[in-house]
Structure 1
């Protein structure tokens, strides 16, 4: 069973939902009306946080699950928590200024790459 990986998946989805709510709040706070996608820097940063999280989820989630299946549920979940922490650091930094998004981006990117590379290696090793 992959209970830990399932829990991390649900936490990642909850974080993404939180970023969606944050965009809605930023629209209200800054007066950016639907369907506009720009107009105030605070709104634009909130929107980019949400979109960047969405852009990474198709990389992160399959890699997380394949790593869990082929290597270890606990290790996959641990690296998945690091990915979520990276996304939170990214959220905090980017909310303040675009120039502060780098550390969080790096943390989550390294976690995603570790999951992907681990899963790829495990799959290839099982094939030979």
Structure 2
């Protein structure tokens, strides 16, 4: 069992749900009725932060489990923690002002890049042996 990776996976999904709720709140606050995806700038930023998080989950979810399988639960959990912290910072920053999303993007993006490169290197080394 991989308890740290499991907790990290659940936390990532919770961030996604939280971002979804933020979109719903912005719809109500600014009167943007579904299925509209444009309207008040703050709504649009909340919508994009949510969509971007969903797009990143496609990479994160398999990768966190690949990391845990290759390097152990601690590494899977640490990757998940960094990704979740980055995504929280990203969503908060983006909703406030699109210019403030950079730090969160870098945290989650660079950790995903490091995890991907590490996994590829580990698999290649294993294949060469």
| Range class of TM-score, shorter chain | over 0.9
* Residue of structure 2 equivalent to 1:5: 5
How many matched pairs?
128
What is the distance in 2 between the residues matched to 1:76 and 1:99? 30
Taking the TM superposition and a 5 Å limit, the aligned residue runs for 1:1-128 are: 1-128=1-128
- Cα deviation for residue 114 of structure 1 reads 1.4
**Per the alignment, in what secondary structure is the counterpart of residue 34 of structure 1?**
coil
* TM superposition shift of 1:92: 1.5
Task: List gaps (5 residues or longer) in structure 2.
Answer: none
Q: Gaps (5+ residues) in structure 1? A: none
Relative to the length of structure 1, the TM-score reads 0.96
Q: Which runs of 4+ in 1 moved over 3 A?
A: none
C-alpha displacement of 1:123: 1.5
8 Å CA contact retained: 1:68, 1:75:
yes
Shift of 1:119: 1.4
